[in-house]
Amino acid sequence: MPTLHKYVGESTAAVFLILFVWGTIQWIRNKNPGRYFWGLLGLGQVLLGVQILFGVILLAMGKSRVWLHYSYGLFSVFALYAAHRISKRFEGVEWAVFAVASAIVFGLLVRAYMTGIAG
């Protein structure tokens, strides 16, 4: 299970990095990223949920007690929640809010990975 948690975490971080880069490039080009951006965002959010579920299972099994690791995962959820709330105020460029949130989530997931390896 820890290996699966590691690989899902790496995949989740990669998805949010792609979303950040994709959104940034489209912002520079002043173009909407299209429906695939939203599909990838949905995939990233599902992967994050699965990752958190695996983390809770590992915590219940007593595999890890590094609380900082878990806080990074929780803050990732808060960042996406905030993006959902804030994006409603930016009609037409909602995706840009999620591109910024993806950068934040990517950074948090990298930090979670680093603290998980150390623990």
From the list 66, 96, 98, 45, the residue with the least C-alpha distance to 2 is: 66
**Count of structural domains within the chain:** 1
What would the pLDDT profile of 94-112 be if each residue is shown by its tens digit? 999 999 999 999 999 999 9
Cα first-last separation, the chain: 16
> What is the 3-state secondary structure of 17-83?
HHHHHHHHHHHHHCCCCCHHHHHHHHHHHHHHHHHHHHHHHHHHCCCCCCHHHHHHHHHHHHHHHHH
Over the chain (119 residues), what is each successive 10-residue block's mean pLDDT? 87 98 96 96 97 90 80 94 96 94 97 81
Domain enclosing residue 113, as ranges? 2-118
Is residue 24 packed enough to be buried (19+ CB in 10 Å), middle (13-18) or exposed (0-12)? Answer: middle
Express each pLDDT in 55-64 by its tens digit: 889 888 887 7
Taking the CB of residue 52, how many other CB atoms lie within 10 A of it?
Answer: 19
